[in-house]
């Protein structure tokens, strides 16, 4: 059992260490040999844990999302017992870190755009569905609802804010977004 845990932990560690490389270089501009060199491991080590660059990228996506969601949810839940205050804090945090998230989106879009075989496309579709569900569950916890439609609505608004920033539009009024979401969520008391 310890060997399996060690293997999983090493795989997770490599994926986390690789995330900044993809963010900096993009997906297409870096190969497994360059990744191994940047991480100070052999290509054999990389291929032991990841059969392909696509598998490594999918592991990076899963691992970074899990880590970010776990840490972010824990921080937001401890910051306030009030769902509305947590949502407002989430929006402000997104606003402060939006360029980082936009960089991540660019790499995801680049990766999705270069997929040229059915097996990789199917694996990526499953990965995206799992990531979306993970984000939606966390949002449900943060805003205090199990309603899938409301969770998805908030997630889509957050994704839209990132896309807006990615396209160079810095004009989002976070207070207005927070008020509109509060109305959508049935939190009608004005602040």
- Number of structural domains found in the chain: 1
DSSP annotation of 167 reads: T
- Distance, in Å, from the CA atom of 2 to the CA atom of 170, rounded to the nearest integer, reads 48
Let me know if residue 190 belongs to a domain: no
- ∠ CA 99-102-103, nearest 5°, is 90
Let me know if residue 48 belongs to a domain: no
Let me know if residue 152 belongs to a domain: yes
Position 110 pLDDT exceeds 80: yes
Domain limits for position 146: 53-184
Position 4 pLDDT exceeds 70: no
Let me know if residue 12 belongs to a domain: no
Let me know if residue 7 belongs to a domain: no
Position 5 pLDDT exceeds 90: no
Let me know if residue 43 belongs to a domain: no
Let me know if residue 169 belongs to a domain: yes
What are the tens digits of pLDDT across the range 18-71? 999 999 999 999 999 999 999 999 999 999 999 999 999 999 999 999 999 999
> For the chain, what is the mean pLDDT?
93
Position 115 pLDDT exceeds 70: yes
Q: What is the mean pLDDT of residues 116-137?
A: 95
């Amino acid at each position: 059992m310890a060997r399996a845990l060690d293997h999983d932990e090493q795989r997770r560690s490599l994926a986390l260490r690789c995330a900044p490389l993809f963010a900096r270089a993009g997906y297409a501009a870096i190969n497994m040999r360059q990744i191994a060199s940047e991480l100070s491991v052999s290509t054999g080590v990389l291929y032991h844990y990841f059969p392909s660059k696509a598998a490594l990228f999918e592991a990076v996506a899963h691992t970074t999302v899990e880590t970010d969601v776990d840490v972010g949810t824990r921080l937001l839940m401890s910051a306030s017992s009030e769902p509305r205050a947590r949502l407002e804090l989430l929006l402000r945090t997104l606003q402060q870190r939006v360029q980082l998230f936009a960089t991540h989106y660019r790499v995801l879009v680049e990766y999705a755009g270069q997929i040229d075989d059915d097996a990789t496309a199917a694996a990526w579709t499953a990965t995206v569905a799992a990531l979306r569900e993970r984000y939606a569950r966390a949002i449900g916890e943060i805003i205090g609802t199990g309603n899938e439609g409301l969770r998805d609505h908030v997630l889509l608004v957050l994704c839209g804010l990132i896309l807006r920033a990615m396209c160079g539009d810095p004009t989002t009024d976070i207070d207005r977004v927070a008020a509109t979401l509060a109305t959508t969520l049935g939190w009608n008391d004005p602040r």
